[in-house]
Amino acid sequence: MDPGLKQKISSTLFEDSPDAVLFADRDGIILMWNRGAEKLFGYSAAEAVGQSLDLIIPENLRGRHNEGYLRAMASGESKYGDDLLSVPALHKNGERLFSDFSITMIRDSDELLGIAAIMRDTTAQKKKEKELKERLNSLGVDLQ
């Protein structure tokens, strides 16, 4: 494939993906933020790039997240591997949302540069699941 075409495809895939795609360096500073991330979290790329990942992490989860992030940067590995993760996140307007995401450790040769994440809003799905569980509980169905 022509290298120019390959670069165009990569750039378009990143920028125009409906999913949030972001990259944070070893210190957890956001360096890349696509249109999907703008839509999901409410921050423009200009607002998010250069900020800590704490921007989108609920305050009560920041300590745990930062410990895990630093551990992954030190070891060069994530304990989650290829797993799909589901976590609460924070929108610019202060509302909590849920996102499912996967991460990729980004390297240049042997040097770990940071982590990329591809995220999708699952707030509506989580709300429906919660309502269904509550309905089943009200009918006496034990989900345990």
Structural domain span for residue 80: 3-138
Distance CA 49, CA 30 (A): 5
Distance CA 23, CA 56 (A): 13
Is residue 144 a part of any domain in this protein?
no
pLDDT tens, N- to C-terminus, the chain (144 residues) = 888 888 888 888 888 889 999 999 999 999 999 999 999 999 999 999 999 999 999 999 999 999 999 999 999 888 777 778 888 999 999 999 999 999 999 999 889 999 999 999 998 888 888 888 888 888 877 766
Is residue 143 a part of any domain in this protein?
no
Distance CA 114, CA 23 (A): 7
CATH code (residue 27) = 3.30.450.20
Is residue 91 a part of any domain in this protein?
yes
* pTM to 2 decimal places: 0.84
Residue 105, number of CB atoms within 10 A of its CB: 15
User: How many domains, the chain?
Assistant: 1
Strand partners for 103? 117
Distance CA 135, CA 131 (A): 6
Is residue 101 a part of any domain in this protein?
yes
Amino acid at 114: G
